[in-house]
Chains A and B, each alone.
Chain A
C-alpha cells in the first residue's frame, strides 16, 4: 500500500528492526531485538521499567544510536538518519510542549521547520481533530494535563509521520482521564490510519489499545501477539504473571492421550489441553487465570470432567461488588486466587474448606524449569 500525503512524501511500508542492540558500558539495555511492525497497526511495547522499551523507542526516533543493528522504514534504511530527517514523530512522556510558544505555534512547529508556507488549514484541522480548536492562543501552562496530552499528539500527528511513537503518553494522567484518552487515542489511530508504536508499563492500557503487544523483559521480547493470545496462551511465567494474574502450579506430566495431557499436582490428577502446553513431558507449570476458577464447598458440586483440587481453605475474602476475590490456601501452603463474578452465589467466609475447580480447556502449560515468580514483582513495580 502506498499513497501520497499532503506534503508529497510517499508513505507506506512496515517498520523493521533488525538485530537492534544498545549497550551502555557493560549494561545491555536492548539485546538483539528483531521485529516487524506492520504499517497502520497499533503496536505496544509492554514491560516494567528498565526492560529496554523506552530505549527501543528512542532508537526508532533517532534520539539514541543503536550499538548494533538496523532500522528500516519501508524499503528505506534510517539507522543513521538524524532525528530531524526521519519521518517519525514522538509524543513524549512529559509532553514537552514548548512553553514559550502558544498552542497554535506548538502544533505548527514541525510544518514550519520543513518550510511549509501555509500551515493554517492543517493546524486548525488538527486542533479540531483533538477537539481543542478554541485553545489555539493559549500557552501550554494554561492547559490541563489531558489537554496538554492531546496537543502533544496533535503536534506530532500534523506531520503525518510514517510512524508515531508514544512514550508512556498517559502516565501523567489520573485514572478516569486515562481511560477516556485510551479510547480517544484508539479513535484517532483508526481515523488517521498511521502506525502507532506505544511504550507502556500498564498492561491494561496496552491491551485496550494495541492490536499487537510485545512483552519485553531484560532487553528482549518475551512474547509477541494479540492481547487475547498473550492473555490466554502466555509463553512464559513472566508473561503469565505480568499480563494480568495467574495461578501457577508446579506439576509433573503423567501421560498424554487424544490431545489431553494428564498431570499430577498437589497429589491430585489434573487435565490440560495439549495444544495449550508449551511442554508435555517431565516437570511443567500449570497455569489458570483466577476468573476461570470457581470454588465449591462440596466435591459433588464440581461438574463432571472438570479439574478439581480438594483440601483448600479460604484465607481471605474480599467482596468488591462486581466480583468476589478469594485467596485459597492449599495444604502445601501455596495460595491460589479465585475471582468469582457476582452472580448471587453464597460468599464463602475465611476458614471455609473448599474445592477449587475449573474447566480443563481453560488451563495452560508452561516449561517447568522457569522461575515461577518471574514478572510478578515487575508488575507491582511498574504499577507503583
Chain B
C-alpha cells in the first residue's frame, strides 16, 4: 500500500516502509482459484471431444472402435468406405436443411403474429407451441407413428414424415427465439420508418427484418442442430429410412467403425470453424470502424 495513515506512521528506524511483502500461500491460492476452476470446467467439457478426435485415428482391433489399438489414417482417408453410413449422413443433412427452412419461415411468421397482435386464441396457441418442448419425446414419437400408420401407411414413411415431425418440434424453438428478439425491439423504430416515408413493405424490409435477422439466424441454427441429432421421434417416423443418429445407434449392435469418429470430429471442426470465422469477421468490422 502506498498510502500511509496517521495511525500507521513510517518506521522510525528508517527502513524502507514500502517493501514488497511476500504473499502468503493462501492469498496465492485465492487469486488462482478462478483460473483453476475455469481450467477444470474446460477439461470437463472438451474431454469427450478430444476422445472422439483421438479415436478417429485408431485402427480398431475388430468391429468395434472402443479401445485404442494403433495409430492409423485409414478412417480419415476413406470416411465413406461404409456407404450406408454416408447415405445416412446425406439424409440427415437433407432433412435438417428442409426442416430448418420450413420451421424458420413458419416460426418467424407465428412470432410476429404472437408479439404484434392481440387475438382471442393467443394464450391457447402459446400453450400449444410450448407442448412439443414439454411433452416426452417418446410419447410424441409414438403418437406421430400412429398418425402416419393410420393415414399414409408404413410403406410411405421416410424423408417427408421425418421432415414433418422435425418441423413440428423445431417450430417451438424458432418461435421462442424469434419472439424474444422481436419483443426486445423498440416499436418506435418502425413508427420512425413510417414517418420517414417508408411504406409498410419498405418498413418491414429495411427496418424490421434487418433488426430481427440475428434472432432468425440463431433460431435457424438451433433448429438445424436439433433436427440433425434427433433420434427418438425420428425412429418412430422413419419407416425404412435411416438417419445418421439412427445409424450410430444401430452400429452399437452391428459394428462401430472409426469413420463415425471421423464424422464426429469433422462436425466438431466445422462448427468451430464457423464460430471462429464469425468472431474474426466481427472483430474486423469493429476495428475498422475505429
Contact = CB atoms under 8 A, between A and B. Distances in A.
Contacts of B198: 84, 109, 113
A98 B194 contact: no
B196 A155 contact: yes
A378 to B, nearest CB: 25
A92 B197 contact: no
Contacts of A94: 186, 188
A109 B195 contact: no
A145 interface: no
Nearest to B199: A84
A137 interface: yes
A100 interface: yes
A364 B180 CA distance: 57
Given A99-B211, A100-B210, A138-B289, A114 B197 contact: yes
A83 B195 contact: yes
B191 interface: yes
A90 B196 CA distance: 8
Given A98-B189, A100-B211, A89 B195 contact: yes
B193 interface: yes
Given A84-B199, A159-B197, A139 B289 contact: yes
Interface in A147-173: 155-156, 159
Contacts of A90: 192, 195
Contacts of A137: 289
B188 A113 contact: no
Of the listed residues B192, B199, B210, B289, the one surrounded by the most CB atoms of chain A closer than 10 A to its CB is B192
Contacts of A99: 189, 211
B207 interface: yes
A92 B289 contact: no
B188 A109 contact: no
A98 B197 contact: no
Contacts of B202: 113
Contacts of A109: 193, 196, 198, 206
A326 B195 CA distance: 49
B102 to A, nearest CB: 27
A121 B30 CA distance: 61
A89 B195 CA distance: 6
Contacts of B199: 84, 113
A110 B186 contact: no
Interface residues of A, number: 28
Contact of A110 (B189, B191, B196): B196
Interface in B194-236: 194-199, 202, 206-207, 210-211
Contacts of A383: none
A85 B196 CA distance: 9
B287 to A, nearest CB: 13
Interface string A201-219: 0000000000000000000
Nearest to B196: A110
Nearest to A167: B188
A94 B186 CA distance: 10
Contact of B195 (A61, A100, A139): A61
A142 interface: yes
Given A139-B289, A142-B289, A96 B188 contact: yes
Contacts of A177: none
Contacts of B289: 137-139, 142
A97 B198 CA distance: 14
Interface string A80-95: 0011110011101010
A137 B289 CA distance: 7
A188 interface: no
Nearest to A165: B195
A201 B195 CA distance: 23
A70 to B, nearest CB: 20
Contacts of A61: 195
B199 to A, nearest CB: 6
A196 to B, nearest CB: 15
A109 B196 CA distance: 7
A84 B194 CA distance: 5
Interface of B: 186, 188-189, 191-199, 202, 206-207, 210-211, 289
29 contacts: A61-B195, A62-B194, A63-B191, A63-B195, A82-B194, A83-B191, A83-B194, A84-B194, A84-B198, A84-B199, A85-B197, A90-B195, A92-B188, A94-B186, A96-B186, A96-B189, A96-B191, A96-B192, A98-B207, A98-B211, A100-B207, A100-B210, A100-B211, A109-B196, A113-B196, A113-B199, A113-B206, A137-B289, A142-B289
Give the top 4 A-B pairs by smallest Cβ distance, nearest first. A96-B192, A110-B196, A113-B197, A96-B188
Given A83-B191, A110-B196, 14 more contacts: A62-B195, A84-B198, A88-B195, A89-B195, A92-B192, A94-B188, A96-B192, A100-B207, A109-B198, A110-B197, A114-B197, A138-B289, A142-B289, A159-B197
